[in-house]
């Protein structure tokens, strides 16, 4: 990337920029703001946040857009608030209330905490009707907005941690660590159903994606600060987090950069091929060879 009118830097930027999204704009809005601030079209995010949600967005800049697919599957952490006694059509505060109950007065903190036990570990979750899940090739939210019935199949998700934080009925705060693809608003809905009083999500903040924490993220207001952008940018290799690494010698680097496979007994799976802490390629190991999948220039 070279400086264009309105950009903050004249040097190429390649890496992953953690940004702290505020409540209000969409994830696509943040991408647009970043493109304008940095003077490049090569910006992509690795997982959306709803407009009412805030927190960590990982933006891939420049050549790092090629690693976006390997970041989308990282586990997520959230701080969420739900409201007992009300169901909404969207399972969050943006939707119309479709059911109410005053029985939330009878829900004790102990009972609420006990119900959470059923939602830890591997569970089947029906995504929210107003979601980007596809039904017969159509986004579910499009059908839902038009008042058409939406039937979504349950999907397997993993809730690694689920803890009760602040308790101020009818509101409850949750700390959630979960697999990608988990709908926290669907989790709030299902907790309400398990309690027999209904519930919906009233606030959501993503606090971490894999090893990346929102505390290290760049506030949106500082996107035009070139020094802060560079200081916050994560090199592609570091951004990949827990992906296994294979260190190459100079001859192997040459082979990989020409797209040739390497003999290797590395366990099957996706691996980062590196030299001198530089990402050379991302490859697929099968136990006998590693086939370069995405090769990065020197």
| Other beta carbons less than 10 A from residue 152's beta carbon | 17
φ and ψ at 110, to 5 degrees?
-65, -45
Closest CA to 131 of 153, 158, 160: 153
Phi, psi of 257 (to 5 degrees): -70, -15
- Ramachandran class of 179: left when φ > 0, alpha when ψ lies in -120 to 50, beta otherwise: beta
What is the C-alpha radius of gyration for the chain, rounded to an integer number of angstroms? 22
Question: What six digits make up the tokens of 177?
Answer: 């660590």
Report the alpha-carbon distance of residue 174 to residue 77 in Å, rounded: 11
What is the spatial distance between Cα 165 and Cα 151, in angstroms, rounded to a whole number?
Answer: 33
Q: Choose the catalytic residue: 50, 91, 92, 190.
A: 50
Task: Using DSSP, state whether 125 is helix, strand or coil.
Answer: strand
Q: Is 124 helix (H, G, I), strand (E, B) or coil?
A: strand
Cα–Cα distance measured from residue 153 to residue 76, given in angstroms and rounded to the nearest whole number: 22
Using an 8 Å Cβ cutoff, are 169 and 81 in contact? no
The whole-angstrom separation of Cα 268 and Cα 203 is: 40
Length of the chain: 298
- Residue 286 annotated in active site: no
Catalytic residue positions? 50
């Amino acid at each position: 990337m070279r400086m264009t009118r309105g950009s903050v830097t004249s040097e190429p930027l390649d890496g992953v920029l953690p940004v702290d999204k505020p409540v209000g704009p969409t994830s696509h809005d943040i991408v647009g703001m970043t493109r304008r601030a940095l003077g490049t079209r090569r910006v992509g995010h690795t997982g959306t946040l709803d407009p009412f949600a805030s927190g960590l967005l990982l933006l891939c800049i420049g050549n790092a857009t090629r690693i976006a697919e390997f970041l989308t599957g990282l586990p997520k952490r959230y701080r969420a608030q739900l409201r007992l006694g009300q169901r909404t059509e969207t399972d969050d505060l943006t939707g119309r209330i479709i059911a109410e109950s005053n029985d939330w007065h009878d829900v004790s903190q102990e009972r609420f905490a006990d119900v959470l036990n059923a939602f830890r570990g591997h569970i089947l979750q029906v995504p929210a009707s107003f979601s980007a899940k596809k039904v017969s090739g159509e986004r579910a939210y499009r059908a839902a907005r038009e008042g058409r019935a939406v039937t979504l199949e349950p999907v397997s998700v993993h809730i690694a941690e689920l803890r009760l934080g602040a308790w101020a009925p009818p509101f409850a705060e949750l700390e959630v660590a979960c697999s990608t693809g988990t709908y926290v608003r669907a989790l709030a809905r299902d907790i309400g159903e398990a309690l027999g009083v209904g519930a919906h999500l009233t606030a959501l903040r993503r606090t971490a994606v894999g090893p990346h924490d929102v505390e290290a993220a760049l506030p949106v207001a500082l996107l035009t600060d070139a020094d802060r952008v560079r200081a916050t940018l994560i090199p592609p290799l570091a951004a990949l987090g827990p992906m296994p690494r294979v260190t190459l010698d100079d001859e192997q680097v040459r082979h990989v950069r020409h797209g040739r496979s390497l003999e290797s007994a590395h366990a099957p799976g996706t691996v980062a091929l590196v030299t001198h802490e530089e990402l050379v390629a991302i490859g697929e190991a099968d136990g006998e060879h590693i086939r370069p999948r995405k090769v990065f220039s020197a």
